[in-house]
Structure 1
Amino acid sequence: MIFVPGFLEDDAKLDQDVSIEACKALWQRIVAQLDLLFTWRWQWHHQNPQVVEENIIKDNRRQKLALHFTSLLHAVDILTYDSALIWLLGLLWKLNPCLAPLAVEDSASRTKLSILSPSSENPNCLHLPGSATKLKEVAIEIYHVFDFQMRNIRGHRVSSLFFLMPIGLAWSVLQGDEKWRSSITETLALSRVTKGYQAGQNPIIRGGDGGEEVVERNAFGFGAYAVPRVV
């Protein structure tokens, strides 16, 4: 993620002073970083066969699709990868929404390992490079991985706070969709540490006649995780 601040700084300069040459230079740097990210993702896919599968689980008396990883570390890998990807996609779509999907597909083709066979791919479970070109697609995958983490974190010496940056990025993309906003809120509520985190600060008091219910809000919230705005 160390490339993000520099990219954002250059993008902010373009907002103030549009330069075709500077825009092209930033685009090339982002695509080069995307190539590195996709190369890593293809390698991870080859080195970690069958570490994740889709299951149907019961949640609040209803069934839903869920991911299951063989270890939390594999899930952390994908969360980190998706977080970097969502930043890059956001910048590409902002700079040139017409060329962004093609740039992603070209990068995926360029970096794909020849040792991968079609039979080893499982696009229905996790997005492989090139299969997700829109921010919403990546954000939904982040949610599913985050949901797995929250359902399986007990007994592991890992802080749930570590996962808030990825889900914060996903929230900034999905918060306008009632279905996914509710899903993220429900998953955050699985832990008292993360419950209400999406709401930010200031407590809400509901009810009356002495039976008020105080809903506590986390003092931080997701305001710091906004991805580049796609106009």
Structure 2
Amino acid sequence: MKTILITGAASGIGAATARRFAREGWRLGLLDINSDALENLNKSLGGQHWTHQLDVTDDAAVSAAIKAFSEFSNGTLDILFNCAGILHIGQFEDIAMADHARIIDINVTGLIRMSMAAFPLLKQTPGARMINMSSASAMYGTPHFASYSASKFAVRGLTEALNIEWKAHDILVQDVMTPFVKTPMVEKQTFRAPVIERLGVNLTAEDLADEVWKASTSSEVHHLVGLQFKTLAMANKWLPAIFTRNMMSVLSH
């Protein structure tokens, strides 16, 4: 039976992905800072999966979580899904410095911590892979998402670099790049960015769970979600960069 370890598993895309892989018969490792929601999710899945409360900004806690999961999984890990992340939408200067820093610490440094800690398990599991939750905002800096966009650029770069490095260890590293998704993280935002108003929120967490499943069976490094984003990415690839810049300017007003 294959195993997947999911960060940010208690709600949104993480929880939907847990349900999707559980339906496929996988054993789940579920990590989140919200332990109550995590236990409720596990109960809804039959209670046989492994759960652990975790703050991905805590080095010692990450190491301890991986050690405990290794005992549950007998030292193997087929997929690490780095899904934990936070978002603050607004004018750059109106967002507190502490919030900018926390975006980077969770979305980037937290992902690096998990990757480092889980590497030995991935390395000793044939055909293992790591899937990172990225965003359409990793293609071009998105107004009112500045720090979040920067964090996803970092995720994209890390994904590409580690996919090359870890090929020697039979580990495929991928990311899932998606437009806006209807999740609690997006819905709780008090600032409504013009780009959201113009493009809409057309995807659900369940849609993304299906995309993560598709990514897990493909060899693509970047798994792009949705026709709208795929079209934009194609235009960005073949047209001058000024096209994307002008389009982002239009969407942000």
Q: What is the TM-score normalised by the length of structure 1?
A: 0.30
> Which structure has greater strand proportion?
2
Q: What is the TM-score normalised by the length of structure 2?
A: 0.28
Instruction: Return the index of the structure with the highest Cα Rg.
Output: 1
